[in-house]
Structure 1
């Protein structure tokens, strides 16, 4: 099986046809009808293909949220809108923009180009102290026992966002906006509470964390 793609299209006929074609080309496809759960569904995906006209959140908003959460994730926009203004709006954050109707071969060719440009998929597991992080299939296990550690959706997003910036200090604002897709309000304790629960699951001693480090006055980081 080839790369895993996130595909967001609300039209059932178009969505079924495109998803089936991509699967025949050996891609694993996660097809959503709206962008509400896009950030969660994008974990482990190599590329996102999304329609502009979606129920609820429009494709531009969804694409921008994906890019905040996964800066290295290629995003390919699909739209029946052909005006230059729409294309320019999409290309402010997206990596490519394809106008409907399109031939399946053209979509596949553009996906291949973006995948080559973005480089190979994540390599083998990462060892962090007593943990083994299997990034390719989104699992965390204890090195000694092999026990898998289960995280909630938000815990998972926070930890893997920190992991993708290994060793880098991230501000509370950066983390909150990437995970929740909303502006951080000074004094909000939501992120702090999630970090505390994360440490209870990941750290040998949550009171003296060795994996998720607090950088006083700035934010957090995961040390290599």
Structure 2
């Protein structure tokens, strides 16, 4: 799990909030949940993104969002609301960065969060804890926490792993991985990437024959779950 980005989630519907919070937690995010916008200013220096409903008790979401934008111009705001009218969308997008209507698919929300964090350069990925591994991306160091030993990767192996980690939960094709790591187009039938991933798994997986960190998605590519 990544040392999480911190999300401020303002939603007064407890049933909806419980579902969204759990999904965010399961995907490596730290979440502060508020049922209204009255106390939100106390958290603005601590969070990386705000998810905001419009229909809130007291101060409506538009008012709360404008106050947030007035305090923090570089803090991404995502409206998550049942208000589907084009007038509401246009009003929200005057100062917010994205607008998603209910009902929604959890994967779409996660993707939009990921896009906003990357756009605002707020992705927290310095140290990751994944299964039995501690991964320091700044120091290019991987520690097996069960043995205390450092896992030594080649340059290409580390770049492949790093690319998969930075796109965790997304299926990446061979073409995407190869072009990112080798900086040249993938040629169909080339086994170079397959060989590198096999050796990478031998170093990081407990059981390379049954990998739990780097998944093979048959017919599509590879994925690391966080």
Smaller-chain TM-score bracket: 0.5 to 0.7
Aligned residues: 124
Matching residue of 1:108: 110
**Residue of structure 2 in register with 1:37 after alignment:** 39
| C-alpha separation in 2, matches of 1:120 and 1:100 | 26
TM-score by length of 1: 0.53
Instruction: State the 1:42 CA deviation.
Output: 2.0
Deviates more, 1:70-79 or 1:39-48: 39-48
Corresponding residue number in structure 1 for 2:178: none
Greater CA radius of gyration, 1 or 2?
Answer: 2
2:70 matched to which residue of 1? Answer: 68
Q: 1:121 to 1:112 in 2, by over 3 A?
A: closer
Under a length normalisation based on structure 2, what TM-score does the superposition of the two structures give? 0.53
Q: 2:23 matched to 1:21?
A: yes
Q: Spell out, residue by residue over 1:74-110, the C-alpha distance to the aligned partner (whole angstroms, 9 max, x if none).
A: 0000111111100000000000000111011110000
Runs of 4+ in 1 over 6 A off after TM superposition: none
Query: What is the distance in 1 between the residues matched to 2:30 and 2:83?
Result: 27
Where do residues 86-165 of structure 1 align in structure 2 (5 Å cutoff)? 86-120=88-122
Query: Hey, what's the Cα distance between the residues in 1 that align with 2:61 and 2:14?
Result: 16
Unmatched segments (≥5 aa) in structure 2: 125-226
2:192 counterpart residue number: none
d(CA) in 1 for partners of 2:122, 2:35: 28
Inter-partner Cα distance in structure 2 for 1:120 and 1:12: 28
- Structure 1, unmatched stretches of 5+, are 123-224
